[in-house]
Amino acid sequence: MKRLSMVALAAGVMVLTLAGCSSGKSGDAGSLKQAGTTTTSARTTSAAATTTTIESPVDLPAAAPTAATVVKKTSAPNGAQTTCADFRDLTEDAEQQVIQQVLAAHPGSFLDGSPAAALSTAKLACLAGTYANTPVAVAIRVAPK
């Protein structure tokens, strides 16, 4: 019986709190909207009045590079001995194959049975420039240095 009355009391307090919060915030939000609209329109009007000249758009030179295209490798050259530098240049399918090979080469590691965690760890570890020449297995700590 005491539990039921405590639940009813807690529900009543929550309803009153929510009712009090919603009525106070709607008035404040409305006044902020009106003040913000007035200020914004005043700023827009003054900015339009001061700017009278129109500049021509800037043309890019013809020799400017458009986008860097990086060709990803589809297979790992060294399998489980792939370095982080090579790992960063692989496609996602090739990355998964390398991780499967690393986990197969090092059974019983703490990442054994978690290829998704191993792949995420390898992606993060291989971002560091200091691990460029380090094998992925060493970088994700499943193999000793």
pLDDT in tens, 12-64: 767 666 666 655 544 555 444 554 454 444 455 555 555 566 666 766 566 65
Neighbours of 141 (CB within 10 A): 13
Query: What are the start-end ranges of the E strands in the chain?
Result: none
Please tell me the predicted confidence (pLDDT) of residue 64.
56
Write out the two tokens for 18: 């929510």
Q: Are 113 and 105 in contact (CB under 8 A)?
A: no
Range with the lowest mean pLDDT among 48-52, 60-64, 71-75, 116-120? 48-52
Q: Which residues contact 77 (CB under 8 A, 6 or more apart)?
A: 86
How far is the CA of 24 from the CAs of 12, 15, 27, 34, in angstroms?
A: 19, 15, 6, 16
How far is the CA of 116 from the CAs of 92, 109, 112, in angstroms?
A: 12, 14, 10
Please tell me the predicted confidence (pLDDT) of residue 101.
92
Q: To the nearest 10°, the Cα dihedral for 36, 39, 43, 49?
A: 130
Q: What is the value of pTM for the model shown?
A: 0.50
Please tell me the predicted confidence (pLDDT) of residue 25.
47
Please say if the pLDDT value at position 85 is more than 50: yes
SS3 label, residue 73: strand
What element of type H or E holds 3?
Answer: helix 2-50
Q: Which residues contact 104 (CB under 8 A, 6 or more apart)?
A: 80
